[in-house]
Amino acid sequence: MIIIGATSGIGEELARQAIQNGYRVCGTGRRVHRLKELKDELGDSFYYSKMDVSQFDDAKNTLKSLINEMGGMDIIVLNAGISNYPSSSITAMEQKVIDINVSGFVQLFGEAFQYFRKQGQGQIVGVSSIAGLFGSSRAAPYSASKAFISTYMQAYRQRCNKIKEDITVTDIVAGFIKSEMTEGKKGMFWVSETEKAVKQILTSIEKKKPVAYITRRWRLIAWLIHLIPDRVIDRLW
């Protein structure tokens, strides 16, 4: 299993639990010192490499190198993402979110998809968000990027069915989970402990679910959001 974005939160805990379940795991991220600490904790079953997904060519080349180092790849988890970014302007900040959450995701998804087509099987897991079900005035590029991820993966599931490829595409629709990204944010509810959420994520990956709401109760919220008229959502957010 290769986890793109393993330096904190979901990715870091997923590396731990996957190794406990017998996987060999490679984690990537920009903060190499975090990956080294995780290597010290998890031992020989954990590999790591620095990766900035917004540096598209470098990221794809790093992924290829990791696949060779691991002796192949059966599962890739595309977890790298940001909700905001320190910048000189709103436009620059929003562009950075799109570069990482959308463009970086697409580049690595495409690389993994082509690899799995040649291999004959594999699983691509993308971490989206309940925030992708509606626009948010406080996080426009983030909510839009997560909506893109879910729709993009849905389209690729349809493509795999049409061309009869044995490639599973799993959308992890995350609710509020304790992490650096959610720390200090107000207005959150049903906030899950990271360990509990990741346990459900790993189970969903192993069951090869097409879509999994994490935690499961967020399926109810998703259902309600689809029923609420846009004009009401616009007033709420």
Residue 156 annotated as catalytic: no
Tokens of 15: 């590396």
Q: How many CB atoms lie within 10 A of CB 203?
A: 14
Tokens of 116: 């799995």
Q: Which of 142, 152, 156, 213 is catalytic?
A: 142
DSSP state of 73: -
- The position carrying tokens 């999994």 is 212
Smallest Cα–Cα separation from 193: which of 220, 171, 214, 222? 214
Tokens of 91: 């436009």
CA 40 to chain centre: 24
Tokens of 226: 């689809």
Tokens of 154: 């849905």
- State in Å, rounded, how far the first CA of the chain is from the last one: 37
**Which residues are the active-site residues?**
142
